[in-house]
Structure formats: C-alpha cells, structure tokens
Structure 1
Amino acid sequence: MTNTTRLLLLAATLSLAACGFHLRGSDLKGMQFAFKSLYLKRSGETPFVSDLRRALTSSKVTMTEKPDQAELVLEVVSEQTAKQILSLSGSGRVKEYQLFYRVSLRAYDSQQNDWLQSEEIVLSRILPYDDEQVFAKEQEESLLYKDMRVDAVAQAMRRLSRAKPQL
C-alpha cells in the first residue's frame, strides 16, 4: 500500500468520524435511563423481546425476575406482523406487498404511574414480488421483518431513554 493510498484512507476515515457517522444500532449502547432496573412483562418470548432485553442489558439496565423488584415495568402489550397487497399487474398478479410490523408498549412504575402510555411503534416496508422467485422473496420478506424488528427495538430504547413518570 502506497503512502498516497494510506493518506486517502486515513482522510476518508477521519471525515466519516467527523461528520458523526456511526453504524446503525451502535448508538444504543451508551443510552442513559431514568431507571436502573426493569421488569419486562410479555406474553411470550419473541425475537423482539429477546433483542430488547439484550439491548437493555448492554445499556446497564438490570433485568429483574419479578415486577415488585423493578423500578419500572415495561409491558409488551402486543406484537403483530401483517402483509397486504400494494399493487397488481395488468394481468392481476401481485407486483408489490406492503409489510407491517407493529409493537405496542406500556411502561409504569410500582405506584402504577405511567412512564409511557400505550406507545405504538408501527413500521412498514415495501416488498417487490415476482412469481418466478418465490423462495428468494420469502427470504427477503423474513429479512425485512427482521430489519423492522431491529428498528422497533431501537425506537423502544429511544422512547425509554426519554421516559419520565407522568404524574
């Protein structure tokens, strides 16, 4: 590697760092919360719940086993995925689907004071569809749902970082 190449590489790296660029999800680790411990109330162990627990733990929030041990209870009220036809071809075949990922959250403390009143996170993505690539489109659909789940966790973390008791 020549000195010119190294210099250009260094300049590119420094300019990315100077403009505030960071990888998606890396901003979740340094979040500050108004609570130290949290109980995650959910109906089952879903990938969203696992990802959220992992993000909270990496942000130094203590996860408790019982709600009375926690400063805050975060209830995952619902988590849903949906798919609807967005457009059809002239012959009536599906050209595009719109995928939806919806999570409803509520946070409250031991005195039942709301910190987050039934917040709903709704995300959507467009999936171009082709009958000749069914398997590939199924994989793309699952990747889009995973991407929306990651975005939903990030949004939930940002909302929790701003949460305060609403008296």
Structure 2
Amino acid sequence: MADRRLLLSAAASTAAGAVLAGCGFELRRAPQLPFRTLHLAGFKPTSPMGDALRRALASAAGTRVVEAATQAEAILEVHADGQEKSVVAFTSAGQVREIQLRARLIFRVRTPADKELIPRTEILQTRDMSYNERDALAKEQEEQLLYRAMQDDIAMQVLRRLAAVKP
C-alpha cells in the first residue's frame, strides 16, 4: 500500500514537472551578454547606481568589468546618474503628504574604436511615497530602500539592453 502511494505521488510530480516544462516556464536568469569585458566610464566613485550596475554585471556569466577602457570590448559611458526628490502633495495645514522619488540614468554604449552600439539612452524610474512628519526616521529608511530598488531595476534594464546588442 505504501509503495503504491509512493508510486502515485512520484507519477503526479513527474506529470506536474512535464506540464510546467511544456508551457515554457523558466525562472528569470541574468541575461547573457555578448561581451567578455566591459568598462564603466563616468560614474562617480561613490555612485550607488554604479554599485548596482556592478552587482548586476557580476551576476552575468562570462562578462567581467575591467578598469581600463583599452582592455574592454565595450564601454558603457554614463552621462547622468542621479536621484531626485520632489513634493507632490500637501495637507490643508501645509505639511508634506506625498513625495515623488526619481532615479535617472543617461548612458550610451560604444566600442573602444568609438562605434556606437547603444545610442544615448535615458532610463527613469519613479516611485510615490506617502509622508508623515511623525514617522520621519522610518520614511527616510523607506526612501533609501525605494532608491535601492529603483537602482537595481535600472541596472537590470541596462543588462537586458546590453544583451540585445549585436556587436
């Protein structure tokens, strides 16, 4: 009896696996980049966006970041990298009620011979955040988490665009 249950459960799990494999379901992986080496130019040394992009590139198998542009197959030039914050709504008493956070990256990708692979491109992420003066410390931490999530999202968008390049 126990052998029969074991056999039935094994058959059911195999059938479920076959159904999922047949539908094309696959976990998202880091994109495969067409470059073995990449140089990041224009980032400030303490740029959080540069750090997010380096983390994302570390997950891409077969591609490494090099320090010298002459050693790279492609150069990612950053023209602008920044974070912005603006007040969107006030209460009737004039206190801040909602804030909009923005993370922006403007870049282009070229070869060391100056052949343009990706023209000047802007990626902008925005998030709205409620605000209450009583929770200022918690809202500051939430703001930092939102900026980090936006930077990670932008980094993954850059990787997907790099993966689509035909060198």
Which residue of structure 1 lines up, in the alignment, with residue 38 of structure 2?
38
When the two structures are superposed, what TM-score results if normalisation uses the length of structure 1?
Answer: 0.79
Secondary structure of the residue aligned to 1:95 is: strand
Secondary structure of the residue aligned to 1:27 is: coil
Matched-pair contact (CA < 8 Å) for 2:43–2:50? no
Which residue of structure 2 lines up, in the alignment, with residue 50 of structure 1?
51
Change (3 A) 1:21 1:95: farther
- Equivalent-residue separation in structure 1 for 2:67 and 2:94 (angstroms): 52
| RMSD (CA atoms) | 2.4
Which residue of structure 2 lines up, in the alignment, with residue 134 of structure 1?
136
Deviation at 1:116, TM superposition (A): 1.1
- Equivalent-residue separation in structure 2 for 1:52 and 1:68 (angstroms): 20
Matched-pair contact (CA < 8 Å) for 2:78–2:108? yes
Which residue of structure 1 lines up, in the alignment, with residue 117 of structure 2?
115
Secondary structure of the residue aligned to 1:91 is: coil
Moved segments of 4+, more than 6 Å = none
Change (3 A) 1:21 1:97: farther
Q: Percent identity?
A: 32
Matched-pair contact (CA < 8 Å) for 2:40–2:76? yes
Once the two structures are superposed, residues 1-53 of structure 1 have per-residue CA deviations (whole angstroms, 9 ceiling, x without a partner) of: xx9xxx8xx98xx69x937474xxx522xx22222211111242222212212
The yes-or-no answer on 1:92 pairing with 2:94 is: yes
Amino acid at match of 2:165: A
Once the two structures are superposed, residues 43-100 of structure 1 have per-residue CA deviations (whole angstroms, 9 ceiling, x without a partner) of: 4222221221232233120322211111101112211111111111122211101100
- Equivalent-residue separation in structure 2 for 1:39 and 1:163 (angstroms): 15
Answer with 1 or 2: which has the greater Rg.
2
When the two structures are superposed, what TM-score results if normalisation uses the length of structure 2?
Answer: 0.79
- Equivalent-residue separation in structure 1 for 2:107 and 2:73 (angstroms): 16
- Equivalent-residue separation in structure 1 for 2:26 and 2:156 (angstroms): 17
Amino acid at match of 1:114: E
Amino acid at match of 2:48: P
Amino acid at match of 2:44: G
The yes-or-no answer on 1:145 pairing with 2:147 is: yes
Once the two structures are superposed, residues 142-164 of structure 1 have per-residue CA deviations (whole angstroms, 9 ceiling, x without a partner) of: 11111111111111111111123
Give the gaps of 5 or more residues in structure 2: none
Matched-pair contact (CA < 8 Å) for 2:100–2:129? yes
Amino acid at match of 1:107: V
Change (3 A) 1:21 1:99: farther
